[in-house]
Structure formats: structure tokens, C-alpha cells
A = this chain, B = another copy of it.
Amino acid sequence: MAYTYEYPRPSVTVDCVVFGLDDSADLRILLIERADDPFAGHWALPGGFVDMGEDLDLAAKRELEEETGIKDIFIEQLYTFGAPNRDPRGRVISVAYYALVNLSEHPIKAASDARQAKWFKISELPPLAFDHNKVLEMALERLRAKVLYKPIGFELLPEKFTLTDLQNLYETILGQQLNRRNFRSKILKMGLLEQQERQQNVPHRPAYLYKFNKEKYQRLSERLGEFIFEIRFQPRETED
């Protein structure tokens, strides 16, 4: 069956930049190996064509699940890329999303269509298909900026985590070391973390686990607007 229109139309795709944190608190990105041309054999962001009648967000979630088995995660629209020649097949406009996932609780499955999916360290990325390097770049920027004023970092951690886990997360994403004492004070003073039981079986003093109280955050942010959650550390300027 064919579809005919009076004016030419672009294709529309969705692409997802999926971030995860590995055991050593390194940031990773989920990529799939393309089976077909263009860019067969290259690594690319998971994604695909939007169905007619399908909402964009749903298309992003569907493609992600089809290609990697991952579902029920934090996902948000990033930006729409529409440079005329970004796809050699013709005019393809891509609505990009970024997603945050807890690596340990969302193992990737073999993709249904035999394309393999793999977590790459941010520091060891292969060259990507299409303009996906640019998309990824922008997603990283967004993540770094947003993590400073929205509590989205928790999406990368399991439900219960230690303050050290959380600090490692911020240090990884922001690419800077933070003072332990001050980090803890700042985070706890917000009153959004709930202390749980202690860790078990660690070869050192066991840390308390914490849960992020999302409901409380949402209640407060409705009442108070932005910046209930703000993590920022500006080292004091040293004299020249």
C-alpha cells in the first residue's frame, strides 16, 4: 500500500539517549548496533520511526523497549533535530529524548531483531551514526545543567542508596570533586531524604541507606516554585 500527498513530507523518528551509572559510578550510554544501511554495523542511539497516530513520547518508549527491553524509566524530550541532510535516506526529522535508568535494575535484553545493545562508557564511545554524536552531546549538557536544580539524579540510583553513592553520582556527572562534609549537609538540610536501615556486609563502618521522598518534593515544588532542590558548589576564588 502506498500513501500519496500533495506536498512532500519528511519522515519523523525518535531517538533516545539513555544514561546509566555502572558499579564504579561511571556514566554510560546505551547504544545499539545498526543492522541495516545507512550506517550498517555502526553504533547508534536506540530509536526509530514514529507511527501515525502514536504520540511522540510513546514512540520513544516503544522504540526503547523494542530495541533494548528497557521500560518504565524516566524519559523526557530533549530537542528536535532537523538539519536537511542529517539522514542520507532523505528528509528525516528526529525528536530526541533522554532517559535515566538504574543500570543494575534494568538489564538489557537481546533486541528482538537481533541487533545488539550495549552500555558504553562516556569516555569510550565509538563514532556514532547520523548526527547522534551531536544529540548525545546535547543530552549530556542537559543532564549536567538539570541535575543542579532538579532531583533527577535519583533516577540513576537504586531506590535505596548511601550518601556516598549520591555524591559519586554528582561528581561523575559534574566532573568535579565535592567536599564530603558540605555535600552531606546540603543534601540532608533539604529534608527530602529519608533515612533507612544500614548497609550490610561491607568491610568498613556500614553507611545508612536513604530514600528520596518524591512526593514531598512534588508538594514543595508546587508550593514554592523552582529551586527547592539545588546542588551547587562554587569553590572560593583564589587570589591571583
Contacts and interface: CB of A to CB of B under 8 A. Distances in A.
B93 A12 contact: yes
A80 B52 contact: no
Interface string A56-95: 1000000000000000000001011011100000010101
Contacts of A84: 52-55
Contacts of A56: 80, 82, 93
Nearest to A56: B82
A236 interface: no
Contacts of A5: 2-5, 9
Interface of A is mostly: loop
A82 B50 contact: yes
Interface residues of A, number: 33
Contacts of A55: 82-84
A79 B93 CA distance: 14
A232 interface: yes
A137 interface: no
Interface in A11-50: 11-12, 49-50
A8 interface: yes
Given A3-B9, A6-B2, A82 B53 contact: no
Contacts of A3: 4-9
A4 B55 CA distance: 23
A219 B6 CA distance: 49
A79 to B, nearest CB: 6
Contacts of A2: 4-6
A152 interface: no
Interface in A127-182: 145, 148
Contact of A10 (B4, B12, B91): B12
Most buried by B among A6, A80, A91, A227: A80
B9 A9 contact: yes
20 contacts: A3-B4, A3-B9, A4-B4, A5-B5, A7-B49, A8-B52, A9-B52, A12-B12, A12-B93, A50-B82, A52-B84, A53-B84, A53-B91, A56-B80, A56-B82, A56-B93, A80-B80, A80-B95, A148-B226, A227-B232
